[in-house]
Amino acid sequence: MRILLIGAGGVGDAIAKVAARRDFYEVIVIADYDQSRCDATIEWIARRHGPEVAARFISEKIDASSAANVTELVRQYDVTHVVNAVEPRFVSTIFSGTFTAGADYIDMAMSLSEPHESDPLHKTGIKLGDAQFAVNEQWERAGRLALVGAGVEPGLSNILARHAAQNLFSEIAEIGVRDGANLIVTDEDGNEIFAPSFSIWTTIEECLNPPVIYEEGKGWFTTEPFSEPEIFDFPEGIGLVECVNVEHEEVLMLPRTIKANRVTFKYGLGNEFIGVLKTLNKLKLDRTRPVRVRSAQGPVDVSPRDLVASVLPDPAKIGPQMTGKTCAGVLVTGKDMDGRDRATYLYHVLDNQDAMAEFDAQCVVVQTAFVPVCALELLATGQWKGEGVLGPDSFDPKPFLDLFSSSEGYKQRWVSQERLPAAPLRNP
């Protein structure tokens, strides 16, 4: 297996560091528009694991907005698998460039959505992933695999949902993805600061677009941003966090492979974060289309969202200032194998202190990075096989969960926690 890893930001850097511990591949080419980031990752691998391991990594420069540039690099290095670890706005070019070059593809965030033109708060327009699922037959005919949504959420959440559907439930009332954390980022003086742990560009896209909900018999529909607030009790010391509906891939992916009456995604944002996002929206700073800005050097065109991303702390660099844990999981409710009411929360928690000690990277990006590397290893060994555009929920979850948690694998504990089979507590 020869891998092209596109993106050496927070997630891409963490993917390379996780992969450095494994030996299922021949080479990983790390490519970024800022090649110095690729160099820095490889230098870290050399210091931590030695020059022999670092020799399996190559640094390259790439323009992810150019499908031709992607195709060129794939062919130059005889790449078999392309891993897309950049923002989802580049999905279309990397996805098509990979197909043209005849390689397999993996991403962690799918093609972007577009709201319904006349009724965006009730009806879906172009949904997340629609552009990729639409060409499934082309990938099948070519005998190639596009493994989409293979991060932590989506990704691990899909795998845990599939495990629950196969082994724990005879009927599923709801698959509710619930993501929360108690992460705190402080400045040099110890004062808490606003510093998102993931790309603010992607966070704005997820949180300010109309969230999508799936219901059996009704299909997919939308609602207002931050709707249906509920207090969810996250495990392992994180505690009670207010969660709200957010647009996310799992809601568009899971109903394709798992029968459930309802599928939702709720994110534990907190009041401050929601307030900031609403302010950005009110000031039109969430927009992507460039606007003309006057400056001392003359007028320049600037994307408001790119500006916001530029002035906030880099998620890839805030690890040393961060404390706390992040939790990704799915609450599945319905009937157990004997027909009794059941509610199970299946989850993975990662402490930032542990992530920093092992990978010198903050916990949110490390948690995301485990899944594509583990999936690549299963593909390399033949335990996962497929053709077409498929999500992780299309594969047998057992090989993944075994490798993910074993002492010879990735040593990541996942938990199946029983809950009272009742609706979650909602705010009045």
The predicted-structure confidence for 135-161, as pLDDT tens digits, reads as follows 999 999 999 999 999 999 999 999 999
Rounded Cα distance, 136 and 170, in Å:
29
Is pTM beyond 0.75 here?
yes
* Least-confidence region, from 115-124, 187-196, 241-250: 187-196
Give the pLDDT band (50/70/90) at residue 191: confident
In sequence order, the β-bridge partners of residue 343 are 333, 419
Q: Does 195 have pLDDT greater than 80?
A: no
Q: Does 412 have pLDDT greater than 80?
A: yes
| Helix, strand, coil shares, percent, the chain, to 5 | 35, 25, 35
Rounded Cα distance, 175 and 157, in Å:
10
Are the beta carbons of 401 and 414 closer than 8 angstroms?
Answer: yes
Give the number of other CB atoms < 10 A from CB of residue 290: 14
The whole-angstrom distance between residue 39's C-alpha and the CA centroid of its chain comes to 24
The whole-chain average pLDDT of the chain stands at: 93
Identify the pLDDT of residue 425.
42
pLDDT digits (tens, 9 = 90+) for 222-231: 999 999 999 9
Residue % of the chain over a pLDDT of 70 = 98
Identify the pLDDT of residue 261.
97
Return the DSSP state at 125: S
pLDDT digits (tens, 9 = 90+) for 298-311: 888 888 888 888 88
DSSP 333-364: EEEETTS-EEEEEEEEEEEHHHHHHHHSS-HH
Q: Does 193 have pLDDT greater than 80?
A: no
List the alpha helices (DSSP H) in 209-341: 249-253, 271-282, 304-311
> Hey, what domains does the chain have and what are their CATH numbers?
2-107 (3.40.50.720), 156-367+413-419 (3.30.360.10)
With CA atoms as reference, report the closest residue to 165 among 29, 261, 68: 261
- With both helix axes pointing from N to C terminus, report the angle between 363-381 and 10-19 in degrees, rounded to the nearest 10: 50
* Least-confidence region, from 122-126, 186-190, 210-214, 275-279: 186-190
Identify the pLDDT of residue 426.
46
